[in-house]
Structure 1
Amino acid sequence: MMASRLAFLLLCHVVLYTAVTSVKVCGRPPLTNGIDDSNLKRVYEVGEEVTITCGQGYLPSTATPQRISCTATGEWTQSNLACSPKMCPIPRALQPLAMGKTEAPFKSVLNFTCDDGYVLQGPSESRCLHDGTWNNPAPLCKAVNCPLPKPPKDGRIVHDKPLTGTTTMYGQSWTYECSPPKAPSYERGSCMADGSATEPPECREVSCPIPAAIENGFITFAVMRQHGYKEKVQYACNEHYVLEGEAEISCQNTGNWSSKPVCRAPCTVGIKRGRIFYNAKKIWIEDLKPNRVLHREPVVFYCLNKTESCGYPVASTCNDGTLPIPECFEEPGKMTYTLRSKTLPSEIEMCDAFPSATTNPARPA
């Protein structure tokens, strides 16, 4: 009898479970980003309706409220509601750091940092709020302050900019000077990122050796002796040579001279027959007297476009005694040059479009 009662109770449980689960229900509606889910239930019965709206900080794609209902299949009817986040305008000064973007969506966070040598004044972050504003304004970056620098013993400090107050700011610089004939072990100082000023240098005796000569040039108005700190000498080049670099050099605090200039050599135009364009004039090569082009001066040669039967110019530049001849240039024979000069590329009609320089590499003269 006990076994029969237990079987009956189990059967009742199975029937009850079957009866309950045969009724279709709907779970929570499928939600896209931005939809307000604060008032939604976990389970809905067939026929129940729900009005879905966008949450705070989001804008609806439709002006009218959207209603969806639970169907007999346990699924929800479709909704075309889309919620887009409200946008906060990015301050113009920060737009380059935001890769050029002018707005940021709701819930975005701006993190602020300052470069080395600057201190953040204000909050380190700001969040885009639901109403399209930032919860904090952009902070300021203020330069680190340093104490006034100390002058060297037997010397003084010359500041790049006038100072006011008892401190300097990061990035401000100055020059150390010593009483002649001494020189500072280093000449420049500054307010550094860690808030400290450069320590003063040592003043010491410095001299530079007798200045050396330069090739194809000479020293002007100088006594050939050792020179003291900051003393200067000047160089010049021989005729037709071009000076490259600073003409005047000075004795530095290291006991060495600053970099000497170089005299660059002129070039010879290495063709016997032909016409060139030089110094704003179109001239035959035999009329270039003397046959000399200075360093960095351009010379134009004329090449023939055989397909179009027209001429085109190709430039070359003198570089320290070397003037490359364009690969496309063909020097005419003596007979053609003498009797048929009007057929040369320099004399016939110029092409409408010139080949690029890369198609006409130069060959050494």
Structure 2
Amino acid sequence: MFAALFILGIVSLAHTVLTLPVCPRPPAIPFASITVAKAEYNLGEEITYNCQSGYVFQSGSRKYICPLTGKWPSVSLRCIPRKCPHPGPLKNGNVHLTDLSYQNFVDYSCDSGYILQGHKTSQCLADGQWSAKLPECQPVICLPPPVSEFSVLSFQRLKPGNTSVFQDQIKFECLLPYALFGNETAVCQADGNWSALPECRAVQCPRPEGIENGYIDLLLRRPYNYRETVTYGCNPTYVLDGPAESRCEKTGQWSAKPTCRAPCTIPVKRATVLYNNQKVKMQDHLKNGIQHAEIIEFFCKNKELSCSYTSPAECVDGNFTVPACFKERGIVATFFKTDIADLPPCENMN
């Protein structure tokens, strides 16, 4: 009887053991996986979550144990996409992106006048690196411009080197007697072409005309070429007003020529005046007059203060006007009256 009861207890205990609860398959977590994936887990069995490739741990717990209740506790693990560093900046170009996270793409473009060297697109990989390195934006190259007929048009680069690239400039010049028409410089443009190129044309000017009361040195009996010059001079007592040289311009005309200005006679017989900052006698030193643009300062009298002051008069192309304040003295007065020039200066009377 006892043996039967013992066997019945053993069977009951085994049934109890066999009916202990188990934990089902644990909940799926976005971007994470379990080290050992099974349909059921025994009480006390531990599981571990790991973030999948391309994702990194953000928060929560990675390890969980199957409890006596047979229900997994709330899983708090969060995995987020790994981020790649910003790939830029791209010199002379632009970086186009919306997200730096795993599997996202970045696009590259270059500014006008530059060409992309490298990959146009790159993807953020699982290891946090970009699939392709940052490209470069290389400037557009312009070929040397054509040289015109007879090689009269030449150019020089304004930057060192043998290659001209976007925004580089070259300067042109023509060999004489050709004149340059158009812009002196050209710019390498974004399309690889040069801006408008100038041209060289032969230019001649007719024989220059003479000037009144003057002459042209070594006047040739032929037309003159571009940039050739002639030199003008004036007859004695006349003064050259303007540039002494006139040049054949690209218009086929001469640049401005000078004028010969006439001297002036002084309508005063006797007077002491200032000439070149020195007191001189008109009758001794200036009886032949003065040249154009020269100045004489006449002495005038302030009767109230009995002092003298000066008033200038200039020779302008043969025209000369004596200051109104000046009073010429007769020959007798010059012997018996004090010369106005010898009176004390009025500026010393203040």
Instruction: Tell me the TM-score normalised to structure 1 length.
Output: 0.48
Structure number with greater Rg is: 2
The normalised TM-score by structure 2 is 0.50
